[in-house]
Chain A
Amino acid sequence: MIVRFRGVRGSIPSPGPHTIRYGGNTTCIEVWTDDGELIILDAGTGIFPLSQTLFDKFPLHAHIFNTHSHWDHIQGLPFFIPLFVPNNQVSIYGAYDPITQNGIQEILTEQLQYRFFPIRECELKSQIHYHSLQPAEAVQIGAATVTAVLMNHPVVNFGYRIDCRGKSLFFTGDHEPCYNIYEPEDDEFSMYQTLIDQRNRGIIDGMHGVDMLIADSSYTTAEYPSKKGWGHGTFESCLEMAEQAGVQQLFHTHHEPTRSDDALEAIFKDALSKRKYDLSEVDLASEGLTIEW
């Protein structure tokens, strides 16, 4: 399995001198399975540089898994070059949205409205397949199985687990661990806690024992209280999740757009010095970083 980070930034692309080492593109992860299938996790702006490297692989079949429909995870989709080239196939997977009651196909349709983009959906030359997934649904791609796990974010967000020939990874997308809305003295507190424990256990089970966990670590523990309910994790919550799920290696991602490289390294160092868990391999995701195993 080969994993290459193409975009590690949250919210909005953040190019410039202060983000040169970790990169300014929004979320996109390139995965090649051992039998040569291309799986792309999210289509943030990082998908554009990725698409520039694919020309010699045409005709190709790319499988794009969208964690959720926020801008920073779909922004690059209309710029995914293989969409425009005949004989390519692009399969797009993602959640059904219970509020608008739209499936995954609506995302591209909305993005390609003529007012916003010069090429209309019917003018795309590749074959596009859409698959709206249900929580816990698994998809077979060659020798790989990709399983959707319902996470916690303001919109429905799927984490994806990829298993292929004994190797595995899990990407959370955007995720904030569930918390109790009641105070300990409220009648409903323990009932709600039971529900949350069940729910968190389901999430941990979904990523259990993977070789690599890539997780949303937008905030520091100090920043978190003012961002509670916004749907993102902290360095600490990700370390805890990695510990509970017994994963081999953890990558922190979805870096804040205003965070400079120096600041990012400083808070990472600080989080590591305070961690309660002994996980040998922990790192910051950075654009271009490639891991093969």
Chain B
Amino acid sequence: MKTCMEPQTEAVSQENIHQRVSAMVESMPPFPQSVLRLMEMTKDFNCSPKDLVEVIECDPVMTMKILKLVNSAFFSLSRDVVSIQHALVYLGMNTVKNLAISIATIDALPHKTISELPMEKFLTHSLGTAFVAQRLAKDCLHIKDVSDYFIAGLLHGFGKMVFIQLEPASYASVLQQTKDKNCSLVQMEVIHIGISYAEVGAMLAQSWQLPTSLVDCIRTHVDCDADSSDMAISVAAASMVATVMQLGINGEVVMDEFPECIQQRLGCDLKMIIEQMQNLPDEVSKIQSMVRG
């Protein structure tokens, strides 16, 4: 069987990658701690909707799958559903709860994991990025409804999870080389795999009919310029902040400053943001322990 990790002797068929990735993600399990917490919580018929949202929205797999279902052709609502709260308002607490339970209990493959990017550390980075993206949107860009910034931060690196599940050994070597050569992860992925995690994540989000703003953000946050959306800028900056603060691992090299376009848009530099984010590790560990119950 052909894999997308073969060297570039043949052009990699985008169509082929797409199909394989989609099929693989269907069987991707949510994180064990969110499943445990969810099952525990939902034993109580009257469990708190707030807690439910919090558990679901800390798990990228569960979030992506619920948004997919809600936005799918079978159940197209008149407007894009961009957050778990959104899904709750449209489908009601019980439907979302039962969707989450059915996702939690599907007969899924166990997570593959590699030491270069352990799933737990990756989750921490995703959560950290989600928090920071939301804060930046609120504080620097004065955006009112920032719930979709949280989701965008949480899902920005989903493509990496896909690579780890699909080809753990080859992706481990891509990550190792990125580290050794101190170069861009996206460039390494394109050279060795033929496609970047940003592209794979966006492709999935698109085929699952997630909102265009989210798809664009996942695709373009790795290559921001002056025309980038506020969401892409916030997520790119947030991911860098989480990386510098060593909150989890994302496999990318540490930058000492934001690119010019990000600095301009946010109106501040990396150091200033990090100073403001000193409580971030606490917040992230608080939410992680809440998810663990």
- Measured CB to CB, the nearest residue on chain B to A136 is B78
Question: Which single member of A154, A181, A188, A195 contacts B94 (CB below 8 Å)?
Answer: A154
Contact A98 B92 (CB under 8 A): no
Bound CA span A191–B50, Å: 13
Question: CB < 8 Å: which of A98, A196, A229 contacts B74?
Answer: A98
Q: Is B77 an interface residue (CB 8 A)?
A: yes
- How many residues of chain A have a CB within 8 Å of chain B? 27
Identify which of residues 180-228 in chain A touch chain B, using a CB-to-CB cut-off of 8 Å.
Answer: 181-182, 186, 188, 191-192, 194-196, 199, 202
A224 to chain B, nearest CB (A): 14
B98/A181 in contact, CB under 8 A: no
Indicate with 1 or 0, residue by residue over B45-57, a CB within 8 angstroms of chain A CB atoms: 0101110010000
A49 in the interface (beta carbon within 8 A): no
Contacts of B147 in A (CB 8 A): 188, 191
CA–CA, A195 and B80, complex, Å? 12
In the complex, A209 Cα to B227 Cα: how many Å?
Answer: 46
B76 contacts A by Cβ under 8 Å: yes
Asked whether any CB of chain B lies closer than 8 Å to the CB of A153, the reply is: yes
Q: Which residues of A contact B175 (CB under 8 A)?
A: none
**Are B102 and A192 in contact, with the CB atoms below 8 A?**
no
B77 adjacent to A188 (CB under 8 Å): no
**CB of B89, distance to nearest CB on chain A (Å):** 4
- CB–CB A199/B90 < 8 A: yes
A156 close to B (CB within 8 Å) = yes
A122 to chain B: which residues have CB within 8 Å?
none
Decide yes or no whether A170 CB sits under 8 A from chain B: no
Chain B, 67-92, contact with A by CB distance < 8 Å: what is the 0/1 string? 00110001111100000011011111
Q: Which single residue of chain B is at the shortest CB-CB distance from A197? A: B89
Is the interface on chain B under 10, 10 to 19, 20 to 34, or 35 or more residues?
20 to 34
| CB-based contact B85/A150 at 8 Å | no
Given A98-B95, A181-B53, residue A196 in contact with residue B70 (CB < 8 A): no
B275 on the interface (CB 8 Å rule)?
Answer: no
Question: Looking across the interface, which residue of chain A has its beta carbon closest to that of B49?
Answer: A181
Cβ contacts under 8 Å, B94 to chain A: 154-155, 229, 231
Q: Does A99 contact B (CB under 8 A)?
A: yes
Contact of A98 among B50, B70, B145 (CB under 8 A): B70
- C-alpha gap A188/B57 in the complex (Å): 14
Asked if residues A155 and B74 are in contact (CB atoms below 8 Å), the reply is no
**Does any Cβ of B come within 8 Å of A12's Cβ?**
no
- In the complex, the answer to whether A99 meets B99 with C-beta atoms within 8 Å is yes
Could you tell me the distance between the alpha carbons of A194 and B145 in the complex, rounded to whole angstroms?
9
A195-B86 in contact given A134-B76, A136-B78 (Cβ < 8 Å)? yes
| Interface CB pairs A-B, < 8 A, 20 | A98-B75, A99-B95, A99-B98, A154-B94, A156-B91, A156-B95, A178-B89, A178-B92, A181-B48, A181-B50, A181-B53, A181-B93, A188-B147, A191-B85, A191-B144, A192-B89, A195-B86, A202-B78, A229-B93, A229-B94
Residue ranges of A at the interface with B (Cβ–Cβ < 8 Å): 96, 98-99, 101, 134-136, 150, 152-156, 178, 181-182, 186, 188, 191-192, 194-196, 199, 202, 229, 231
Q: Which 3 A-B pairs have the closest CB atoms?
A: A154-B94, A181-B49, A195-B89
